[in-house]
Amino acid sequence: MGRDYTLRMPAPEFPDLSSLVHSDPDVLGGTPVFAGTRVPATALVEYLEAGDSLDDFLADFPSVERAQAIETLEVLRALLSRHASAA
């Protein structure tokens, strides 16, 4: 069997998720929420799944900053890409 000369790239660095999403048993029973808010992080995905825009989500949850939402989506995309390339 031949040697594997595939270039192995180091795993991409992901931001510390605690800067984006926080879980505390005293806040919504430990449901992961956007840091500094009481907004469940899954609400963003649910909005997008329903066909709502990011602007709709941000209008309904003004305590979530646009940068938080975008960075969370970027982390999810990176995780999905990493998972897909590992398969």
Give the whole-angstrom CA distance, residue 9 versus residue 5. Answer: 12
How confident is the model at residue 85, as a pLDDT?
A: 62
Domain interval for residue 30: 17-86
**Tens digit of pLDDT for each residue in 42-68?**
999 999 999 999 999 999 999 999 999
Residue closest to 39 by CA, chosen among 27, 52, 51, 54: 27
- pTM (two decimals): 0.73
Say whether pLDDT at 14 is over 60. Answer: no
Overall domain count for the chain: 1
Q: Among 9-13, 62-66, 73-77, name the one with the lowest average pLDDT.
A: 9-13
Strands 33-34 and 21-22: antiparallel
| 85 compared with 32, residue with greater pLDDT | 32
Q: Is residue 5 part of a domain?
A: no
Kindly state the helix (H) or strand (E) to which residue 73 belongs, with its residue range. Answer: helix 66-86
> Mean pLDDT of all residues in the chain?
83
CATH number at residue 67: 1.10.10.10
